[in-house]
Chains A and B, each alone.
Chain A
Amino acid sequence: MRKLVPILVGFAVCAGIWEAVRVGLKLPEVVSPSLVSIAGALGDKAGYLFLELLFTIGESLAGFLIGSTLGCFVAFLFILSTFFRQAAYPIALMIKATPLIAMAPVVILWFGSGLLSKVVMSSILCFFPVLVACFDGLRSTNQSVVELLDMYGATKSQIFWKARIPSALPSLFSGLKVALPMALVGAVIGEYLSATRGIGYVIANSSYHLKTPLMYGALFLVSATGLILFLALILMEKKIAFWKDK
């Protein structure tokens, strides 16, 4: 409970600044609606927003799982083959350096304007941070541990599963913590550009129709969802890579 106090204070200060700026600068309701109007819009459309949010979370988590799994898989290949790493790293860097907004038309062209293109966009954003983190983790395995297992006659596969994978977990979680909010960003951008479902679509649609309280409400829901997913990942990290901060 004590840990919640600074978080609640932070939210209260932000809400206070929002209202103070809005009232102080006499901003019109359509540009900067009051928190009461935003809360009202959220209440009125609660059922609808909940379903759209679930849709976006589904796309994000699917993209996160696929992108992270691919990132880990390619990191394993990087460890196994220097040639593959030298051949594939520049390509991975090029994908990372290309803005998602520039790739989106291609992704929509290939995968349609439905759920699949959003999953793909989320995957693309998740792939690189997980690849780098997992590769660094696998590479930085304590050499003494590897030598110890080698002396016991461990096979390469045993060293991989008993030493390299557990050693990589703390670093992998650092990558996953970067990737998870990115997954949400990928899905929302995809929905914003071309979709008929999801919270990104709600933001775009309410923006066109100047339903700004609903737009801000949907925006708040995306941010809050990102925070909750991030906290859930931290809990998982504490359970799985429990030795990290000790």
Chain B
Amino acid sequence: MAENSNSESLTVRDLSFSFGKKLKVLTNLSFSLNQEEVLALVGPSGCGKTTIARLIGGFLSPASGEIRINGTSAEKEELKGTVALFSQAPTLLPWRTMEGNIRLPLEFEKVDRSGASIDEAVETVGLMGFEKSYPDQLSGGMKQRAVFARLIVAEHKLVLLDEPFSSLDDFSRQEMGQLFIEIQRSRKFAAVIVTHSIEEAVFLANKVVVLSARPGQVVSEHRISFEGPRTRELLKKQEFFNEVQKIRSLLP
């Protein structure tokens, strides 16, 4: 993952949000994300992590504060086609084959279609031979791979992932994490990952933002850097455990 770019892909400044008048979810939240970097949001349950992703994606409007993507104010209409949001369960259309699902973003004019070809995408995620299969014929991990393939046929400036691997077993989570890193590195997009797993945050992200309990605010930002590539071998190393412990100690 590139760590030498200074231009910001995402800037969140003094962001506050409430559901109704009484339920304050976020208060004066600020953080930023450089181009081609991955930022992980961790924090206690209900601290507003998913809300942040939905605010950045333009599905919610902040009460106050500002969200800028690539230097411009994030208006929902302008975001269309440039930001991708992954929810907790892989969103595949059950009436389409895997190939049809991967082709989906290319059917819309606002999407930059200069990504990988469908064949390349299928090969990258290792789903050759399953192009004509329907989602119900695929395992959880394969569905996630199909979602990744869909991610790389289009060019996105920013990818938001909300607990993307929560429905997978431990082995598949690691495998998908590794695949995500490879894809992010090759397609060079910025990403925000919302996760409950500190290990996952440390493994995937360049920067971890620790949030307080509701109303969520930034407790700490921690930059993660490892020598050498981020492969599954890293998960067994002491430096990885040290980083996990650091983040854990920052949690409220």
Contacts and interface: CB of A to CB of B under 8 A. Distances in A.
A162 B91 CA distance: 14
Interface stretch (A4-12, A68-76, A77-85, A145-153): A145-153
A148 B136 CA distance: 19
B222 interface: no
Given A144-B91, A153-B81, A246 B136 contact: yes
B contact face: mostly helix, strand, loop, or mixed: loop
Interface in A212-246: 241-243, 246
Contacts, number: 58
A140 interface: no
A3 B130 CA distance: 32
B80 A150 contact: yes
Residue in A142, A153, A241, A246 whose Cβ sees the most chain B Cβ within 10 Å: A153
A169 B111 CA distance: 28
Interface in B51-108: 57, 59, 79-81, 83-85, 87, 89, 91, 93-95, 104-105, 107-108
A152 B59 contact: no
A163 B109 CA distance: 17
Given A153-B111, A158-B108, A243-B134, A142 B81 contact: no
B108 A152 contact: yes
Given A151-B57, A152-B81, A145 B91 contact: yes
B80 to A, nearest CB: 4
Contacts of B94: 243, 246
B81 A148 contact: no
B91 A152 contact: no
A151 B136 contact: no
B228 to A, nearest CB: 35
Interface residues of B, number: 25
Contacts of B80: 150-153
Contacts of B134: 242-243, 246
Interface string A108-150: 0000000000000000000000000000000000101101111
Interface in A140-186: 142, 144-145, 147-154, 158, 162-163, 166, 169
Contacts of B135: 243
Given A147-B59, A243-B134, A246-B136, A153 B110 contact: yes
A contact face: mostly helix, strand, loop, or mixed: helix
A241 B94 CA distance: 10
Contacts of A150: 80
A25 to B, nearest CB: 53
Given A148-B85, A243-B134, A153 B91 contact: no
B93 A147 contact: no
A142 B94 CA distance: 11
A148 B109 contact: no
A164 to B, nearest CB: 12
A246 B81 CA distance: 31
Contacts of B95: 166, 169, 241-243
22 contacts: A144-B87, A144-B89, A144-B91, A145-B93, A147-B57, A147-B85, A148-B85, A148-B91, A148-B104, A149-B104, A150-B80, A151-B57, A152-B111, A153-B110, A154-B108, A158-B107, A163-B93, A166-B93, A166-B95, A169-B95, A246-B134, A246-B136
Closest 10 CB pairs of A and B: A153-B110, A153-B80, A246-B136, A243-B94, A152-B108, A153-B81, A144-B91, A166-B95, A144-B87, A153-B108
